[in-house]
Amino acid sequence: MKRYLYLVAFGAWVCSHVHGHASTPKDTAKVEKKANFGPLFKNDDVIKLRIVTNIKALQKDRGASPSNHWAELYYARKKKGDLKIPIKLKVRGNFRKAAKNCIFPPLLLDLPQKKDKNSIFERQNRLKLVTHCQSEEYIFNEYLVYRMYNLITNYSFRARIAQVTYEDSAGLQKPVISYAFLLEDEDDMAKRNKAKDYTIKQIPMPRIDSLQMATVAVFEYMIGNTDWSVPYLHNIKLLAPKGGKYPIPVPYDFDHSGIVEAK
């Protein structure tokens, strides 16, 4: 309960301090309209998903190079019934990929190029799904951290809460219903900010955009997170903005922060 109160209080503080001061490109809205990134992250409503796959095979595949697994993704629409999308699933992550740390590992959803134009997944190709791991409580905590950082700057990953039913295609396990959240694709986040991926490591701190570096550092301090590094690109994505002199850091993966306190 204390963590929820902390999240609410911190969110209120963010809202009261960032209005009119968010560090965002002036033409971000124009870029979004022109590029059309699809409807998935334009709404905050909880979406209902159903994933059918061989659960046992998926959960056992936690090695250094996990394989793709066949799956079917069902999206519940209000009037037209469920929409089925054939997808590939892969276990992803580092700490959370290990069975000793997560009962249910995080997943990568690989969607087909051709999709129903009326689908919420229109224009989405690869999406990270942050699963319940050990407990649903941490899902909501980490999701709210992403949303709070969205309030501060557009140089941030968007997230969307989903209630997911995991069904075993082999019929050997009972369905598991749990909350999760989808995370915006890295390339889409970069394009939305008129930037490109910057993958060079060991960048000296003075060579990073000073305002965004300060924003990241203060935010990570506020949520009690030390599990990140700009020089080593650990839980940090660097962007090369169009016309910008210095790369911009974008944080992600807040499960080890004090405010989330995932175990």
Return the H-helix or E-strand segment holding 31. helix 28-35
**Encoded tokens for 196:** 């490109």
pLDDT tens-place string over residues 11-57: 555 544 544 444 444 555 555 555 567 899 999 999 999 999 999 99
More confident residue, 1 or 225: 225
Longest CA pairwise span in the chain (Å): 56
- Lowest mean per-residue pLDDT among 20-29, 99-108, 240-249: 20-29
How close are the terminal C-alpha atoms of the chain, in Å?
A: 16
Q: What is the mean pLDDT of residues 134-162?
A: 94
Report how far residue 51's alpha carbon sits from residue 112's, in angstroms, rounded to the nearest whole number: 15
Report how far residue 174's alpha carbon sits from residue 169's, in angstroms, rounded to the nearest whole number: 10
* pLDDT, position 5: 47
pLDDT tens-place string over residues 227-237: 999 999 999 99
- Lowest mean per-residue pLDDT among 2-11, 46-55, 141-150: 2-11
* pLDDT, position 23: 44
Percent of the chain with pLDDT strictly greater than 90? 65
* pLDDT, position 19: 43
Nearest to 239 by CA among 225, 224, 253, 249: 249
- Going from N- to C-terminal start, the domains of the chain cover 2-185
User: At 128, is the secondary structure helix, strand, or coil?
Assistant: strand
If you average pLDDT over each of 6-10, 39-43, 163-167, which comes out highest?
163-167
- Please state at what angle helix 136-152 crosses helix 210-222, rounded to 10 degrees: 150
